Amino acid sequence: MSLKLPLEDVLLNVKAESYEEALRIASSHLFKAGKVKQSYAESLLMREREYPTGLKMGNFNVAIPHTDYLHANTTQILVMTLNPQVSWHNMADAEEAIPVRLVVLSVFDKPEYQLEALQKIIGTLQNQTLVKQIISASNAQQVIEFFN
């Protein structure tokens, strides 16, 4: 399974005041394109509050939010770079807030794709040089190439 990342779903240098706002921006973008159901945003926010997805990855922390497949109409990822960085709750310690510049949101309409896709995403994000290049990308096509 390859990770589908449409050009229009690479959002660069998004300004958000909080992780909630970042997730609302991403959810609204996907909903307007018919890729998720109306229930997606609230489900995503509820899941993030219960099970934070911020990952300490070295110099560049990332977040990998996702929610139940029942709220999606497709299987793909959305990549968002944040400028400035946003405080996100750490997956390993929900009490700790970490600065995040890169969000890779996975959307699944079939549960059997979730584990494999998350493994591929994390595998990509473990390469800090690549994460730095994604954060610094000047156009969406560059980001897509990093995920191929």
- Where do the domains of the chain lie? 7-147
Q: Tell me what the mean pLDDT of segment 112-126 comes to.
A: 87
- pLDDT of 105 > 90? The answer is yes
Q: Does pLDDT of 1 surpass 70?
A: no
The domain 7-147 is placed in CATH, from the list 3.40.50.300, 2.170.120.20, 3.30.1330.90, 3.40.930.10, at: 3.40.930.10
Tens of pLDDT along 13-38? Answer: 999 999 999 999 999 999 999 999 99
Out of 12-21, 32-41, 112-121, 134-143, least confident range = 112-121
pLDDT at 115: 84
* Neighbour-count burial for 13-46, b at 16+ CB within 10 Å, e otherwise: ebebeebeebbbbbbebbbeeebbeeebbebbbe
Average pLDDT over residues 113-142: 92
Cα-Cα-Cα-Cα dihedral sign, residues 57, 96, 69, 111 = positive
Q: What is the dihedral of CA 71, 2, 99, 88, to 10 degrees?
A: 20
**Is the pTM higher than 0.75?**
yes
